[in-house]
């Protein structure tokens, strides 16, 4: 068994050596100050993060998928990010997916040993039929998870682009991905508990990856989620109507009326109003311009 004691995420944090003797308020201040270091660590990895996002954008434009792969907290965060894309950006469920070692049951209860199988990661990618249009994004904050490395290996062998995310330096545990993101968050307050700073860094990076990629493919106009799945709940119906109202200048009631006339499609409602066209014509215009509202508005009919 490999000794991982020298890995950055396994080192002891000198500032928290006596956390077991601190008051609740003192513990809060310590953890809060440690968490405050995470954004700078993410910023330091900007070139790799940008390169990863560009791979994802290219995959989406080619009709491909983003598939997150991880174990434990890393796998759960990938599944969470993937699950939030359909309601926020009206993406098909298969466009962004999360794979967690041990299967979906591991979202709620640890499946011990599942992360130790490199073949298991490869098998998971085979089951997804990973190919040249896809991006497989491995998440292993400690760097060594065999399940993730197996998934990356299989993906590369089958022509997919690959990204690897870890919170240890490359030299501590290398990877074979096309893009290697290393966000060095340092020793955790509780030694080895990578659900803390490393988990926070993971969430920040995954937020950036899908958000920026969705913006790039036209899912956002200005800073409004014009592809929101407005019919998924009352809150989003209200938001969809308000978005139409804000962009077109009509009142909220008219915005909701347009939303319903557009069958819940915010983009369609916007184009109907601004271009003075029917729902069918609005959908045709959007299709002609790759779903980009700004392009439709600028080019008119």
Residues with catalytic roles: 84, 115
Q: What is the dihedral of CA 21, 23, 26, 28, to 10 degrees?
A: 110
C-beta of residue 286 within 8 angstroms of C-beta of residue 267: yes
Helix pair 234-248, 252-261: axis angle to 10 deg:
110
Nearest to 197, CA basis, from 222, 174, 173, 168:
168
Q: Helix, strand or coil for residue 3?
A: coil
CB 161 within 8 A of CB 124: no
- The β-bridge relationship of strands 96-100 and 66-70 is parallel
DSSP-derived secondary structure for 174-206: ----SEEEE----S-SSTT-TTTHHHHHHHHHH
């Amino acid at each position: 068994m490999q000794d991982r004691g020298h890995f950055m995420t396994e080192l002891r944090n000198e500032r928290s050596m006596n956390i077991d003797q601190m008051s609740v308020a003192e513990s809060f201040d310590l953890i809060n100050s440690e968490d405050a270091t995470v954004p700078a660590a993410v910023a330091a990895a900007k070139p790799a993060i940008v390169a990863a996002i560009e791979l994802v954008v290219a995959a989406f434009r080619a009709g491909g998928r983003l598939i997150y792969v991880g174990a434990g907290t890393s796998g759960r965060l990938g599944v969470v990010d993937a699950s939030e894309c359909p309601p926020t950006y009206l993406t098909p469920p298969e466009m962004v997916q999360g794979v967690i070692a041990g299967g979906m049951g591991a979202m709620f209860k640890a499946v011990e040993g599942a992360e130790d199988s490199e073949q298991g990661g490869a098998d998971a990618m085979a089951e997804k039929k990973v190919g040249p249009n896809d991006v497989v994004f491995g998440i292993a904050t400690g760097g060594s998870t065999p399940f993730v490395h197996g998934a990356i290996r299989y993906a590369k062998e089958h022509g997919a682009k690959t990204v690897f995310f870890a919170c240890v330096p490359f030299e501590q545990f290398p990877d074979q991905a096309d893009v290697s993101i290393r966000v060095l968050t340092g020793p955790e307050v509780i030694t080895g508990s990578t659900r803390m700073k490393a988990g926070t860094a993971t969430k920040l990076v995954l937020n950036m990856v899908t958000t920026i990629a969705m913006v790039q493919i036209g899912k956002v106009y200005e800073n409004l989620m014009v592809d929101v799945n407005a019919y998924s709940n009352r809150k989003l119906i209200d938001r969809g109507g308000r978005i139409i109202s804000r962009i077109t200048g009509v009142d909220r009631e008219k915005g909701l009326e347009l939303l319903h006339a557009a069958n819940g499609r915010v983009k369609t409602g916007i184009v109907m109003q601004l271009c003075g066209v029917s729902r069918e014509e609005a959908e045709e215009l959007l299709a002609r311009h790759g779903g980009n509202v700004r392009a439709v508005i600028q080019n008119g009919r």
